Structure 1
């Protein structure tokens, strides 16, 4: 038997990880409350009332009524759709408030639309085609970390990491940044100032003459023009969730921004909570898309399957997406697809040594034992 030892650095990293895992989960806020509840699974139409509806309902009673299978979406009908305006940079918010690095679209923009015409969509220019304006820097975190104008050579990776930290944790002090960048051996103030100078020189200044990284007044924050793919994801998902009838395309466009797992390939201690927040919102978006694509008289099972599988590429342990996947294949009569989904889920459960949720176990038993009724003539 050999004793295992931890270095001081390893001990501090493990301690930080434990502190993050013990933080209580925060309930969804704002429009995210309109995302489909994980208890509600995408249910493709079947010849008879879908048996999944008998597994569990919100009040715990059996229910075979297929007339209203999506209570979360029905409850959100009538929610005002926020006008699509140009993307804005995140505001300074404490860690325990709005989603990291993000704000919700401004409801006041609706009045502006009534006066000056419809606002620009994300893929449309906010100015006339003839007015050329330099594009603002973008910080991309929905995949490998990249920052406009910052290369991967030399100190580039550290400079990019610092820029991402300032973006998702705006308004922080120099002391906070020094410790966050290296909890074991915090940066010196001199090192921090050198890296900050590199950010300023590489990003340059905004059209209004202000540097994209201004000198701090009450903490370090970027110019409002600086944006990120995470900011765009939140805007698109928020618009999509707020509009159950016409927002599906926005949710699709949000998932299209994903290049991989958030911060893929890098391990930043300061990004643990932020990364988990991003993954949770991605799963909510994929799940809601899967549900929407399976409702109505003409469900799109291919689109529903793509949404579920895209989410599983980001988090292969998301049981709600496996339930969506199984239900989609089951409702479409694809026995091979059902077994493939179950096999993959069981393999993941063995790999991570996790127990499946009761509703997942019930669904597996149901789809394996089910003999689909013949389609109506």
Structure 2
């Protein structure tokens, strides 16, 4: 016996259960399967087949989507880790995980439940995200996508999957069909998968906002996101019994300058509310400066300004209602605000 002989190798037939149908050459050797037997099993008409370099499928016939996903992950991590990645059914949750390879692109969006993406069985390649310095090449059904900063993955059906915004950016990078890009971005927001700002941030980092069809889709995305946020804002006022404001107005000083547009305003309380729908694009600093100047100007006039993000409206509607109610109640203890003219926007 030498140091390479496993102490208790499992028989080959025990490796072919549903959870271990895809293994690397290192894993097979660890189970006592020598290279000669691997080659014999993979000969024409044999019981096994090589899916990717160093990754084997322990049955004949086409692989399932589950097996292809696991094969791609094993291919991307085979040099680092001889263990089997978490298998589907091992516990479906969206808790963060930190693997060395992450499913991304269209396959990830399909795993997240998108309807606008193709089924996994129709994807010729599966995108897998790896650190930039990994020495890997795209081959077979595995397309390597490199990044200098691995995202915190989510576990979906037991597999490490990129968050929706990152998966969207990697998918859009490979799409030239404007309609397909628009459908994906719209579903991301309308389906509640993420907020527009997170999508635009990833698209910006991927330098995709120089492509006209992506810019057009982003404009539609931002409009969609604002409409959804406005609906949630209306629902918040109604469901939590807040006084009715005047909606979508402009403020001006009598005979003076324009003070800015607001999404809601309570004149009797001098409380203004604005949805913070800034998208992290190249003009973010300038846009934030505009927000800050408006707020400072209004507060000098005695008007309290409440900023709410679409994400907060989605995740904690009750807390945002409490913030607005507190601002309204506090108005009785403040000095009267300056007189302003309220105009429809």
TM-score, shorter chain, exceeding 0.5: no
Q: Which has the higher contact order (CA 8 A, sep 6+)?
A: 1
TM-score (normalised: structure 1): 0.23
Please state which structure has a larger fraction of its residues in helix.
Answer: 1
> Larger radius of gyration, structure 1 or 2?
2
